[in-house]
Structure 1
Amino acid sequence: VGYDFLLNKGKIPSALKPFTDFIFMHSDNPMTELFLRTFLGTNAERHLLLKEALDKVPKLALEKFLKEPSTSTLGESILALILHSLPAFLAYGQKAEEKKAEEVAKSFGIILKRKERLAYITDTHFEINGVARSSRIIRELAQRYDLPLDVIAVWDGDVRENNLVLLKPAFEFSTPFYEEFKLRVPTLISLLDLLRNYSRVHIATPGPLGIMAFGVAKALGLPTTFTFHTDVPAYAYTYTGSPELMDISYKLIALLCNACERVFTPSEAYKKLLKEKGVKEEKIKVFKRGVDTSLFNPSKKEEDFFQRKFGVQVRGNVVLYVGRVSKEKNLDAFLYCAKNFPEDTFIIVGDGPYREEVEKKKPRNVYLLGYLTGEELAKAYASADVFLFPSETETYGQVILEAMASGLPVVVSSKGASHEHVEEGVNGFIAHSYEDFVEKLGRLLESPRLREFMSAEALRYAQSMDLTETYLDYINKLLGRVGVKV
């Protein structure tokens, strides 16, 4: 109807008319059809060609703009993006009509129920980081307990697994300050088609996929929740030194949080921070994650593990760090401690954009091993003596729990949420400055009896945090279930 109106008003450009006539069933020119299908790269049925065009034209228009930047190609790109967004606006209008229909049905005693299924949205799933690890655990539990949820990510690969739905990326680019992590953007239409099949949406990351899913969920009228896994505004400040950018980032996060039904954060420290930044307190819920004590435990200790596996000539005690090698992790404090204890061995497990800088600054007793996973990571933990984690931006600190489960006393920063796992002087120490890190680490290195006592207490604490139980409780809350045991 809309096309006929524009056609009668003479608003269709003559260059486009042969193609739009074919798409809207006004002509049957086989050459036009051949050109369109070749141009769009599709064998879809004719009545789906409009959708295919709306899905693919933005990418084509943006690629043209990047090759030939001009006001004309910019205008074409903007128009293409507006047209691409049209189905979402139509869905929003359709949802309003559906609600009216449901109200009419309800007045006749007919209750319409959507089949329960959660879309767990994450911009990172296959990478090595805490958020990706959480999404993998949630998917594994969904498989084991037949839970009504799917993890949804964007990935350019042929991976087919239960409870995992992968969208193809339309665009892909590196994250600022984190070149090895790619941000992948799907088409809005593909995401809209997908989320129609779900009853709830949970956003685990405020990346391109997360933000797009939030908009689509709102258009479809789906209950939406969000987890504040990563302190992105603090990262922005660490890398740019701009308090203005940090403040703007927190305001945007607060807007997202307040527009969601519920906001989850893994620590009391960040519940308080979100409240201070303007998030409504009644929306914020704290969830605790447990640790896999079958994988991480003291029995994985191996004598001469670091020498046999990595050629590290261990001297004295082994002080371990596990995590991303990046500026926000405050690894300069780790190097400062290493310089103060030249007779001991300091090992970094992980990789990231700050590695080159660490390699330049480190003293001889510091070794970087790169990423480790699974059994090798478990052996690295258990074969060390102390876990030193100076990061000041952790929203939880899963690696601290893994270290404790491996029987390591820990020394952590008083900033962020890492210290919430630590009972000062019992299962570890909380440091407030570089000098404090040195003093407290020194007490552990000089006293085997103190290490043994704290090791036992750290293990006891970790064993009280059951991985399966804590994650199932979290999933129940995401599904909107109250007081239900899976």
Structure 2
Amino acid sequence: MEKFTSVDMHVHSRHSTRPSQWGLQKLGCSESYTGPEFIYKRLRDKGMDLVTITDHNCIDGCLEIAHKDGVFVSEEITAHFPDDGCKVHVLAYDISEEQHSRIQEIRFNIFELVSYLQTEDILHAAAHPLFSVNGKMSYENFERLLLLFKIMECNGARDKTQNEALEFILDNLCPLDFEYLQNKYDLKAAGNKPWEKSIIGGSDDHSSLNIGRMFTRVPGNHNLKKFLEQVNKGCSNAWGTPSTPKTMAHNLYSIGYQFCKHKFNLHRYTGQDSLLQFLDQTLHPGQKIPKNIKDSILGFIYKKTGSKGKTPAREFHRLLSRETELMLRTDPEITRMVQSSVNPHEYMGSRWFRFANKAGNRLLSHEAGRLVEQAASAGFLDMFQTLGSAGSLYTMLSPYFVSYGIFNQDRRTSKEFISSFKKRKGIRKSAYQMRVAHFTDTFYEINGVARTMQQLATTAAVTSKDLTIITCRPDSSKSLEMDGVQNFEPMGMLDLPEYPEIKLYYPPVLEMIDYCFERDTTHLHTATPGPMGLAALATATILGLPIFGTYHTSLPQYTGHLTGDHALEALMWKYIIWYYNQLDKVFAPSKSTADELRLKGVRSEKIKVYPRGVDTDKFNPAKRNGFFARHYKIQNKTKLLYVGRISKEKNLQILEKAFQKICEHTSKVHLVIVGDGPYRYEMEYRLKDYPATFTGYLQGEELSQAYASSDLFVFPSSTDTFGNVVLEAQASGVPAIVVDQGGPGENIIQGDTGLVVPAEDSHALKRAILSLLAHPEDLREMGQKARKYMESRSFKKAFEQTWEMYRECA
């Protein structure tokens, strides 16, 4: 069996005192709380042959264990490019105290620092060279690192794509590259063959959880001097497991917990407090764990949940304790976290994510439910307490928000650097893969937005576009799953009394962030401004992704119609304007909708009217087959059709009045209402003495046949932003009558494919219908023109145009 010399060449101790995360800085938290003795023992236990510690600009950790076998003194130096202030971390190995002192004097100029390290023959490397320490690592600065450093590090705390990008670039360097770079920057490259780089590996551990996660291997059994020589010759490689956002967040939790132990002297309570034992086992390894820790923790939690008082912090602690107890009893993965004496680092980050996610979901569901109840009962003082608990929950999950943001930025930087490298080298670039996640509160329901979402999923598959519909429904909807749709189990549910067909579900935001990260999503789209829309906004903000939104539904007007409360309608407008102003682009389905949004306060530069289409195969005149005669015994009558939600905001009272007047003029007409809603029974009662049929919901082929078998489509709604049904009717060869407010009027060619009449005017609607009934040949000709018009507006064509808009607007 071949022997290797293994060394973790990047690890931190408690002597690294200044964290890079702003939140930890504000708390006065150190970067690490790991003792040098612990590091030494852990590295030896993991099979490392030599041991070093690379604290930031400090060698005290190494000096503490310098007397131990196999230890050498090293540090991680924070250097700067003097022209733009870009920070670079440089690893220097096997140095003396005098060399350390000199390094600290000159480290603010990276050129002076590297010159000194070369003169002193100190082995040195660029740590995580693609990572931007202070946001200033440009590709040009990376090119200068290629000139300055012979050795580069693959880092165990960074995303695998960053290490892979670095290895790709280093593997494809050649002498011509360095001729070009030396001329470009007027800078001599390090080494005789600068295109032949050495690679080392280091865990970059700060928390003690991942010591030895990544390390350097050199073939053979070597002492320190020989090992460093082999690294310098390029005989080393990086070995181990790269990090993930879950790993980084777990580390941040660990550092935060160790900070609290240090600041509040919690060590003295660890033996007495079983909850602290749980945290020690999961966030601070190496502690002695009682054999009966699970039962001990549960007993402690039972005591704590009975504590009195209702401050937000105490209430949050009570809820968290209760949920922890439940998970320890019911989740085998979380139980294993506290029962195992050794937790492999490959799994601990995932297990802690499972715990934090489940606890966060349950707490958020509880707080959201309370907030709704308090708002409904005007319990405004209690609402402040609930909001306080929600703030505690945000703080609890913030390590994940930080970690996913950093890792997604790392990915973008890696892709940009590879793209720049390939462009200069003339290497053919990989085709840009756009991946869109489309969030929606409605998908499985029967409504226009849901039908549009279903069409999007189908069309994306047909056109080979990488689009995933993200929605949130209980497990009961699994029978409706389809390709291109990712459904998440909700944390809770909110009923809308005025809209019983729609239920709003509380989404598991952290799972959605993780899903979009793992898919390497490039764009987000939000179809609705409800809980899923807020989840999309949070995901876009944390991952730093462009986000687009569609204004499908006139929610403020619907709110006014359904509640009769103008103050509530105004409040809804405030929310809508706030929400859509957070997006990069707002897709309006019609010019009238765009104008309304602009007038209400959505910024003009954000609004873009986007193309809409219809499935011209599904909705087709060829499907006219006497559907109503066969199913509803409607024969020898001109059939007026309405399809949609039966509710007051659709202005169906206007249609009622117009139809009643029409029946005074002719008996050769029949009104068909397809759909359902809260106004159905009242409308049915009002028309009980008239030739009117209410079919309820129709779907699939039945709906297509109903359209094609009717003669005239009537849509009196003035609150629709677009009106899919108007396109579906025309595609079926049926002319349409719509009103002059809202989006549907823009989908009619006046006098050719239908008529546009004044809104809220039953007399105008009556006259328009009678005029067409009096000239059946004009009605047929309009239907033919309507079909031809829709053939130029296929859903597939509109989808592909919208796909290009993502690319253009990002």
Q: TM-score, normalised by structure 1?
A: 0.88
Counterpart-to-counterpart distance in 2, 1:136 and 1:358: 30
The 5 Å alignment of 1:76-475 reads 78=387, 81-86=390-395, 89-94=398-403, 116-157=434-475, 158=478, 160-197=481-518, 198-303=521-626, 305-310=627-632, 312-314=633-635, 316-342=637-663, 343=667, 344-362=669-687, 363-432=689-758, 433-475=761-803
Q: Distance in 2 between matches of 1:430 and 1:199?
A: 41
2:331 equivalent in structure 1 = 42
Note the alpha carbon deviations across 1:262-283, whole angstroms, 9 max, x for none.
1101111111111111222222
Distance 2:629 2:331 in 1: 56
Spell out, residue by residue over 1:206-226, the C-alpha distance to the aligned partner (whole angstroms, 9 max, x if none): 111111221232122111111
Could you tell me which amino acid in structure 1 is paired with residue 723 of structure 2? G
Relative distance call for 1:67 and 1:431 in structure 2 (3 A) is closer
Deviation at 1:44, TM superposition (A): 2.4
TM-superposed deviation, 1:130: 1.3
Corresponding residue number in structure 2 for 1:31: 295
C-alpha separation between the residues in 2 aligned to 1:309 and 1:174?
34
The one-letter code of the counterpart of 2:482 is: E
Structure possessing the higher radius of gyration over alpha carbons: 2
Q: Distance in 2 between matches of 1:243 and 1:64?
A: 25
Gaps (5+ residues) in structure 2?
1-254, 282-286, 300-322, 338-347, 422-429
Kept in 1, the 8 Å contact 2:405–2:543? The answer is no
Counterpart-to-counterpart distance in 1, 2:711 and 2:678? 27
Could you list the runs of 5+ residues in structure 1 that have no partner in the other structure? none
CA contact 1:338–1:365 (8 Å) conserved in 2 = no
Deviation, structure 1 residue 171: 0.7
Secondary structure, counterpart of 1:387 in structure 2: strand
Pick aligned residue for 1:18 from 274, 281, 288: 274
Q: Distance in 2 between matches of 1:79 and 1:384?
A: 57
Q: Distance in 2 between matches of 1:149 and 1:234?
A: 31
Residues 54, 83 of structure 1: 8 Å contact kept: no
Deviations 1:217-247 (A, max 9, x none): 2122111111111111111121233333333
Distance apart, 1:351 and its partner CA: 0.8
**SS in structure 1 opposite 2:755?**
strand
Give the number of aligned pairs.
Answer: 479
After alignment, is 34-43 or 49-58 more displaced? 34-43
What's the counterpart of residue 36 of structure 2?
A: none
Overall identity of the aligned pairs, in %: 29
Contact 1:336 / 1:434 at 8 angstroms: preserved in 2? yes
Q: Distance in 2 between matches of 1:85 and 1:95?
A: 15
Question: Following TM superposition, by how much is the alpha carbon of 1:119 offset from its aligned partner in structure 2, in angstroms?
Answer: 1.1
For residues 99-144 of structure 1, give each alpha carbon's deviation from its aligned partner in whole angstroms, at most 9, with x where no partner exists.
9868997998886999642111011111111111111111112222
Deviations 1:321-379 (A, max 9, x none): 01111111111112112211222210000111211221222242111101111211111
Q: Is the 8 A contact 2:722 2:744 kept in 1?
A: yes
How many angstroms does 1:161 deviate by?
3.5
Q: Structure 1 residues 161 and 316 mapped into 2: Cα distance closer, same or farther (>3 Å)? A: closer
- Which segment is superposed worse, 74-83 or 372-381? 74-83
Indicate yes or no: 2:260 matched with 1:6. yes
Distance 2:720 2:369 in 1: 38
Residues in 2 aligned to 1:3 and 1:71: alpha-carbon distance in whole angstroms:
34
Offset of 1:91 from its aligned partner?
4.4
CA deviations over 1:6-54 (Å, ceiling 9, x no partner): 345278999x952353144164503247788761232225243541333
Relative distance call for 1:236 and 1:20 in structure 2 (3 A) is: farther
Deviation at 1:252, TM superposition (A): 2.3
Q: Deviations over 1:72-120 (max 9, x none)?
A: 9988855653343236533454467569868997998886999642111
Match of 2:179 in 1: none
**1:266–1:396 Cα contact (<8 Å) kept:** yes
Q: Secondary structure of the equivalent of 1:292?
A: coil
Change (3 A) 1:420 1:337: same
Q: CA RMSD in A?
A: 3.5
| Cα distance in structure 1, aligned partners of 2:473 and 2:614 | 27
CA distance in 2, matches of 1:117, 1:397: 28
Cα distance in 2, alignment partners of residues 65 and 252 from structure 1: 17
Q: 1:359 is aligned with what amino acid?
A: E
User: Structure 1 residues 3 and 79 mapped into 2: Cα distance closer, same or farther (>3 Å)?
Assistant: farther
Aligned 8 A contact 2:611 2:801 in 1: no
User: Mean alpha-carbon deviation: is it higher for 241-250 or for 125-134?
Assistant: 241-250
Cα 1:360/1:265, change in 2 over 3 Å: same
Cα distance in 2 between the residues matched to 1:387 and 1:242: 32
8 Å contact 2:436–2:466 — kept in the other structure? Answer: yes
Tell me the distance in 2 between the aligned counterparts of 1:320 and 1:380. 9
Letter in 2 for 1:192: I
Q: Secondary structure at the match of 1:320?
A: strand
Q: Is the 8 A contact 2:620 2:731 kept in 1?
A: yes
Q: Report the 3-state secondary structure (helix = DSSP H, G, I; strand = E; otherwise coil) of the residue aligned with 1:44.
A: helix
Q: What is the DSSP-based 3-state SS (H/G/I as helix, E as strand, rest coil) of the residue aligned with 1:369?
A: strand
Q: Distance in 2 between matches of 1:290 and 1:384?
A: 21
The one-letter amino acid of 2:468's match is D
User: Which residue of the partner structure matches residue 95 of structure 2?
Assistant: none
2:359 alignment partner AA: A
Q: Distance in 2 between matches of 1:118 and 1:464?
A: 26
Question: Structure 1 residues 229, 4: CA separation in 2 closer, same or farther (over 3 Å shift)?
Answer: same
- Bigger shift: 113-122 or 335-344? 113-122
Look up the equivalent residue of 2:628 and give its one-letter code. Answer: F
Tell me the secondary structure at the aligned position of residue 201 of structure 1: strand
How many angstroms does 1:414 deviate by? Answer: 1.0
- How does the TM-score come out when normalised to structure 2? 0.54
Q: How many Å apart are 1:250 and its aligned residue?
A: 2.4
User: Aligned to 2:602, what secondary structure does the other structure show?
Assistant: coil
- 8 Å contact from structure 2 (residues 405, 542) kept in 1: no
| Worse overlay, 340-349 or 156-165 | 156-165
Return the alpha-carbon distance in structure 2 between the equivalents of residues 381 and 460 of structure 1: 16
Moved more, 21-30 or 411-420: 21-30
Query: Which structure's relative contact order is higher, taking Cα pairs within 8 Å and 6+ residues apart?
Result: 1
SS at match of 1:2: helix
Q: Which residue matches 2:360?
A: 54
